Amino acid sequence: MYLNGTAIEELPSSIECLSGLSALYLDHCKRLKSLPSSLCKLKSLNSIYLRWCSSLKSLPDELGNLEALNSLNAEGTAIREVPLSFVRLNNFDGLQNLTSLYLTDCGITELPENLGQLSLLLELYLEKNSFERIPESIIHLSKLAYLKLSYCERLQSLPKLPCNLSELDAHHCTALESSPGLVFPSRDPQYFDLRNNLKLDRNEISEILEDAQQEIQVMAIARWKQLQEKWAIVLILWRARVAHRIA
């Protein structure tokens, strides 16, 4: 259902009758103030887009009932809190199939402690928010590949991050002072940005750079061995072909 840019202020509770609805687009609906709890009865709904719905201040508490939801984008909304039902809680199973979560520029002041229960999460976008810390449970997001934290200007520390992380963007986190346990996040890193974090301990930065250098050396050696093995096989095949022609 595409309602992007409309003047809608609320969705009718009867939306629950659209049992086959798989995607809901409400981007730039600047008058939208709320979403009905009946929306959370749509078992086929897998994508919700709420980008720049600047009057939207909260999400339904029952959101954790959306078993099929794999993508939620609420960038630029006025949401200040993440519903606890995002993760398994009481009667809610949580968003166990969620792979992409975009909460950029929402003014969020606190993240759920059991964030690590979103076990299938691949992308987590949290730029321009107001939280001071990230729950240590994030280490349990074993599939997380992309973590965006730039311009989180109240963020004071980074916990230990998942080992499969390939992109970490945490530039302009001007209150960031420490990153205990932070190491080069992946054996195949693409992006690792801690620019303009002037309070970050210089010894920790040196340790991060040393880890990065070691990982690069390991990758270079592994790549060289792969090339050697490849050309050894090519040489064997070439010799066999030459010997066959001579015979």
* pLDDT single digits (tens) 53-71: 999 999 998 998 999 999 9
Neighbour-count burial of 227, counting CB atoms closer than 10 A to its CB (0-12 exposed, 13-18 middle, 19+ buried): exposed
Predicted pLDDT of residue 23: 97
CA distance 241 to 246: 9
Predicted pLDDT of residue 66: 93
CA distance 231 to 214: 26
Structural element, H or E, at residue 222: helix 202-246
Predicted pLDDT of residue 113: 92
CA distances from 8 to 2, 24, 40, 49 (A): 12, 14, 19, 15
The total number of residues shown for the chain amounts to 247
CATH 1.10.3720.10 fits 13-217, yes or no: no
The list of the chain residues with pLDDT below 70 reads 88-93, 180-190, 198, 201-225, 227-232, 234-240, 242-244, 247
* Whether 78 contacts 48, CB under 8 Å: no
The closest of 140, 28, 40 to 73, measured between CA atoms, is: 28
pLDDT tens across 20-57, in order? 999 999 999 999 999 999 999 999 999 999 999 999 99
Predicted pLDDT of residue 87: 79
Phi-psi region of 69 (alpha: psi -120 to 50; beta: other; left: phi over 0): beta
Predicted pLDDT of residue 135: 95
- Cβ neighbours around 233 below 10 Å, total: 10
- Cβ neighbours around 83 below 10 Å, total: 18
Structural element, H or E, at residue 49: strand 47-49
pTM > 0.85: yes or no: no
- Cβ neighbours around 194 below 10 Å, total: 21
Predicted pLDDT of residue 234: 62
Q: Tokens in use for 24?
A: 């809901």
* Whether 15 contacts 38, CB under 8 Å: yes
Predicted pLDDT of residue 107: 92
The closest of 209, 155, 207, 149 to 177, measured between CA atoms, is: 155
CA distance 85 to 103: 16
CA distance 70 to 22: 11
CA distance 35 to 204: 44
